[in-house]
Amino acid sequence: MQSVSPVQRCGHHSPFDRSPSRSDARPRRSLQLQRWDPVRRSPAWHWRLSASLLALGSFNKLGACRPNFRAARRATAEKAFDVAERFVSRFNDYFVLWLVLVTLVSVSRPETFTWVNQESFTWLLGLLMFSVGLTTSVDDFRSSIRNWLAVVINAAACFLLMPALAYTLAVLIRADVPTLAGLVLIGSINGGHTSNLCTLIAKGDVALSVLMTMSTTLLCIVATPLLAKLLLGTVVSVDAVGIILSTVKVVLAPTVLGLGFKQWLPNTSERAAKLTPVLGVFATCIIVGSSVASCRPYILSAGAPLQLAILGLHLLGGLSGYVLSQMAGLSTAACRTVAIETSMKSSAVGYLLAVLHFQNFLVRVPAAVSVVWSAAVGSAFAAFWGRSSTRKA
């Protein structure tokens, strides 16, 4: 009879006992089945947590891709902006060509610009000055005020050199008294507001140009009647209050608005300042076209000697202003600014004074012709210096 141990009799087995028992009768599971099976043994909360983590990981991967999309959009925008900037630069280089085309259209088909009334004219000038103010800053004005020598040279060239040159050219072409009066009147008026745009294109000192335009505009209240009396023997009455109000409305207010826009939104204005010159060129072309269209009979009635005299007035005046500035030791930007300010006159003001204060019709003819040549000479200076600065850079 087989003997039974006490441990077996109690139902326990020794760890050294190799004999199979009733509980060990089942075959052992394989090693693969003994591993953790997430499908069979994972609770429901574990599945929800895993799904959440998986979704979160996918979201994080999607978020990591977002900067790539943003970078691509930013690169596309930068490329488009560079293309637009090159187009604006090239468009401004052909400023003279646009003025010539606008002049030809306004002479051949004056009805093209009949829609430009006085209110539209004022808004266009305001747009022009806003584009100029957007490219300047308060620090530029502070530095320009310290450059007092350039302001004095420009004032002397505007009210001493140009009237004497106009009188000399009128004598050389043997002009009659009304034409002589019109030429002297053109030489005695203030600088034109479009000179600020030409200074911008020429890579000159825009803030200094605005300061010069403001100073000559205020000085013409006194200087123009005195010069007319001295050279013509006739006292020209000037509406000083009207000129000041027009200057504030057309020049000062848009310029201050552009300065404020640049001060409040520096990043936006920095980008916009690179594109606004094309708006100024467009406004200048419309202004010249409307002026020529309204003065078409006067321009056609003027002869070749008067055309050459007015062309020589603006061209020689600009070159003389540049030489005087160089002799005074001014910077290249200041020399260009003085030259453009001297060559470009506010022919619209001269035409208005001729209409209001001279009864002879022929006095207004030089001012009507000067509308074209002043813009043409100033824009030619601007295109030449602007292109030369781009090549050097």
Q: Does 66 map to a domain?
A: yes
Mean pLDDT for the chain overall? 76
Q: Does 139 map to a domain?
A: yes
- Kindly give, in sequence order, each residue whose CB lies less than 8 Å from that of residue 76, ignoring residues fewer than 6 positions away: none
Same domain, residue pair 331 and 345? yes
Domain final position from 67, 93, 119:
93
Q: What is the mean pLDDT of residues 141-166?
A: 87
CATH number of the domain that 314 lies in?
1.20.1530.20
Model confidence at 316: pLDDT above 80? yes
Tell me how far apart the terminal alpha carbons of the chain are, to the nearest angstrom: 117
Same domain, residue pair 225 and 320? yes
Using DSSP, state whether 329 is helix, strand or coil: coil
| Residue 328 burial (C-beta neighbours within 10 Å; 0-12, 13-18, 19+) | middle
Q: For 1-55, write each residue's pLDDT tens digit.
A: 455 555 445 454 544 445 455 444 555 544 444 555 554 555 555 555 555 555 5
Q: What is the mean pLDDT of residues 270-291?
A: 76
Same domain, residue pair 60 and 156? no
Q: What is the DSSP letter of 237?
A: P
- Kindly give, in sequence order, each residue whose CB lies less than 8 Å from that of residue 378, ignoring residues fewer than 6 positions away: 192, 194, 195, 198, 314, 318, 340, 343, 344
pLDDT > 70 in the chain, percent: 71
Q: Does 13 map to a domain?
A: no
Same domain, residue pair 326 and 209? yes
Q: Does 27 map to a domain?
A: no
Helix (H) or strand (E) holding 98: helix 95-108
Domain final position from 93, 110, 126:
93
Residue 149 lies in domain: 96-392
Same domain, residue pair 245 and 190? yes
Angle at alpha carbon of residue 380, lines to 179 and 80, rounded to 5°: 140
Domain final position from 57, 76, 93:
93
Model confidence at 211: pLDDT above 90? no
Residue pair 163/184 in contact (Cβ under 8 Å)? The answer is yes
Same domain, residue pair 49 and 133? no
Same domain, residue pair 303 and 242? yes
Q: Does 12 map to a domain?
A: no
State how far the Cα of 324 lies from the Cα of 84, in Å rounded to an integer: 38
Would you place residue 301 in the very low, low, confident or very high pLDDT band (cuts 50, 70, 90)?
confident
Q: Does 5 map to a domain?
A: no
Q: Does 329 map to a domain?
A: yes
Nearest residue to 315 (alpha-carbon basis) of 325, 323, 303? 323
Same domain, residue pair 106 and 82? no
Residue 16 has a pLDDT of 47
Q: Does 244 map to a domain?
A: yes
- The alpha carbon of 359 is separated from its chain's Cα centroid by a whole number of angstroms, namely 41
Indicate the number of domains in the chain.
2
Q: For 47-70, write each residue's pLDDT tens digit.
A: 555 555 555 455 454 454 555 666
Same domain, residue pair 75 and 109? no
Residue 342 vs residues 7, 16, 292, 312, 324: alpha-carbon distances, Å: 125, 118, 22, 13, 11
Read off the pTM: 0.64
Nearest residue to 162 (alpha-carbon basis) of 115, 216, 92? 216
Same domain, residue pair 167 and 81? no
Q: For 118-139, write each residue's pLDDT tens digit.
A: 677 677 777 777 876 776 667 7
